[in-house]
């Protein structure tokens, strides 16, 4: 098993979970405490803290503890590297499907 994570691996791993995507969406609207997120997602505080830790490790979320309250906010990462990676593969697949369509059209014309 690979012993390290690249930034892309960490990002896509973090984004692979629906709850974590929901947390990002929620934090895009407003900062929230761990307790607020736990209530919103009907989870225990421990459960949501684990999700937030994954997002924080990927640089997608930052947290700050003031007194007993840990506040979460969107992190500094803008997912530009991930968007570039996705775009490259979107173009690759688009080209492949365009070629497949050309082959199908050629076969139809021959019939």
> What pLDDT score was predicted for residue 76?
87
Same domain, 31 and 2: yes
The residue-averaged pLDDT of 68-95 equals 93
pLDDT at 46 over 60: yes
Query: In the prediction, which pLDDT does 66 show?
Result: 93
Residue 92 and residue 57 in one domain: no
Q: Are 71 and 56 in contact (CB under 8 A)?
A: no
Domain that holds residue 99: 78-111
Statement to judge: residues 91 and 67 lie in one domain:
no
Q: Describe the chain by its helix, strand, coil percentages, rounded to 5.
A: 65, 15, 25
> Once rounded to an integer, what is the mean pLDDT over residues 28-55?
97
Same domain, 65 and 108: no
pLDDT for 1 equals 46
One domain for residues 57 and 27: yes
**Residue 9 shares a structural domain with residue 44:** yes
Distance CA 9, CA 59 (A): 12
Contact partners, residue 41, CB within 8 Å, separation at least 6: 19, 22, 23, 48
CA atoms within 13 A on the CB side of 66: 5
The better pLDDT of the pair 77, 98 is held by 98
Regarding whether 22 and 44 lie in a shared domain, the answer is: yes
Q: Specify the pTM.
A: 0.79
Same domain? For 27 and 54 the reply is yes
With a cut of 60, say whether residue 2 has pLDDT above it. Answer: no
pLDDT value of position 5: 57
The tally of domains found in the chain comes to 2
105 and 86 belong to one structural domain? yes
Residues 92 and 50 in one domain: no
């Amino acid at each position: 098993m690979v012993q390290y994570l690249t930034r892309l691996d960490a990002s896509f791993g973090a984004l692979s979970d629906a709850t974590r995507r929901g947390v990002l969406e929620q934090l895009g609207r407003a900062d929230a405490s761990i307790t607020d997120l736990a209530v919103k997602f009907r989870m225990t505080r421990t459960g949501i803290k684990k999700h937030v830790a994954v997002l924080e490790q990927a640089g997608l979320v930052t947290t700050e503890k003031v007194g007993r309250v840990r506040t979460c906010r969107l992190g500094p990462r803008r997912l530009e590297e991930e968007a570039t990676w996705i775009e490259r593969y979107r173009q690759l697949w688009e080209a492949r499907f365009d070629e497949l369509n050309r082959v199908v059209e050629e076969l139809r014309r021959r019939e």
